[in-house]
């Protein structure tokens, strides 16, 4: 614990410097005040570095993340914004280097938007990074379809689930209703001519998962079951936390899916995360996937809250 020992030494240095601040010698007192400022700054830096060591890591953070984006209020503009979020996250994943992204399902809309898209992010720390993205994302801008130049407000919802492992969730086949149907939309040869699309309903919870992007019914069912396991695992986690009175009440929680968490204001070149009062005026860079500063601020806020709850 070199940092901890360094903090102890800094406490001694700070006490000595403060004693010299009140000496009659103006030059020596000025040097002491400068030393106090320097030591206090180094103390603050070391304390920030020590914070992660004081909170045990969440074992779920290294799981793969299942991310689902859905267009909300706003019609075609909401679908375009959902596509923009999908692109933003894809760019961020590409810049990260150690992660891989796999498209699970998608439903296109008009004008190049998406009604919904689901994808998996694999790699160390994937769920830990994306878990704070869950919630309602709001956009304020002039839509391409707006001839009068009026600013519209639209929204998209993001859900983030830890990938469930077989040992996490046991699914009884009798609790499932599996329907197959003809896939719709663009696809390769055979996709639209056979009953390859799959809809799985988990009867006890009413959770419905559809999958049609793969070429075969078997592949679609496997992908649908993967998403279903993650949704059931997420539901179980939420129930456990509620029982322990550990509701996600913090600014960086992922539990309240209805909460507006962030606003992307294009006319003012501003992105604001309402949970932690974070504002930056680099919206084009954010939309290109440069999310490091934002994600770091969210991690720090989450860490501070967990320290307070410890």
- Of the candidate ranges 53-67, 69-83, 234-248, the one whose mean pLDDT is the lowest: 234-248
Domain 65-165+248-309 indexed as CATH 3.30.70.1660: yes
Over residues 26-43, mean pLDDT: 86
- The class (CATH top level) of 173-242 is alpha beta
Q: Which residue has the higher pLDDT, 153 or 259?
A: 153
DSSP code for 66? E
Tokens 């988990």 — which residue? 202
For residues 207 and 201, the answer to whether their CB atoms sit within 8 Å is yes
Give residue 309's pLDDT.
63
Could you state, in order of their start, the residue ranges of all structural domains in the chain?
2-54, 65-165+248-309, 173-242
Over residues 185-204, mean pLDDT: 69
pLDDT level of residue 193 (50, 70, 90 thresholds): low
Give residue 256's pLDDT.
38
Instruction: Tell me the CA distances in angstroms from 227 to 28, 114, 161, 222, 253, one per residue in order.
Output: 67, 19, 9, 9, 21
Give residue 53's pLDDT.
65
Of the candidates 4, 213, 192, 30, which has an alpha carbon nearest to the alpha carbon of residue 105?
Answer: 213
Instruction: Return the HEC string of 144-210.
Output: CCCCCCCCEEEEEEEEEEECCCCCCCCCCHHHEEEEEECCCCCCCCCCCCCCCEEEEEECCCCEEEE
Give residue 191's pLDDT.
45
Over residues 65-84, mean pLDDT: 92
């Amino acid at each position: 614990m070199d940092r901890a020992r360094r903090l102890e030494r800094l406490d001694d240095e700070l006490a000595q410097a403060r004693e010299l601040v009140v000496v009659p010698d103006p030059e020596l007192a000025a040097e002491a005040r400068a030393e106090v400022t320097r030591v206090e700054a180094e103390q603050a830096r070391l304390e920030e570095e020590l914070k992660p060591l004081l909170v045990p890591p969440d074992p779920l953070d290294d799981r793969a993340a299942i991310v689902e984006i859905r267009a909300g209020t706003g019609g075609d503009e909401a679908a375009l914004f959902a596509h923009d979020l999908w692109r933003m996250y894809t760019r961020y994943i590409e810049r990260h280097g150690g992660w891989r992204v796999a498209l699970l399902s998608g439903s296109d809309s008009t004008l190049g938007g998406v009604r919904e898209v689901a994808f998996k992010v694999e790699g160390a720390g994937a769920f830990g990074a994306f878990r704070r993205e869950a919630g309602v994302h709001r956009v304020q801008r002039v839509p391409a379809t707006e001839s009068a130049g009026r600013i519209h407000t639209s929204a998209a919802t993001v859900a983030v689930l830890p990938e469930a492992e077989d040992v996490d969730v046991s699914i009884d086949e009798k609790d499932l209703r599996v329907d197959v149907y003809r896939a719709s939309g663009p696809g390769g040869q055979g996709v639209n001519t056979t009953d390859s699309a799959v809809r799985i309903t988990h009867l006890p919870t009413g959770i419905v998962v559809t999958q049609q992007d793969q070429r075969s019914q078997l592949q679609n069912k496997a992908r649908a079951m993967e998403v279903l396991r993650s949704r059931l695992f997420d539901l179980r986690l939420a129930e456990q936390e509620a029982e322990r009175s550990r509701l996600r009440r913090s600014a960086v929680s992922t539990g309240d899916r209805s909460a507006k968490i962030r606003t992307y204001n294009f006319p003012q070149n501003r992105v604001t995360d309402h949970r932690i009062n974070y504002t930056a005026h680099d919206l084009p860079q954010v939309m290109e996937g440069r999310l490091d500063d934002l994600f770091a601020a969210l991690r720090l806020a989450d860490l501070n809250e967990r320290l307070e709850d410890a």
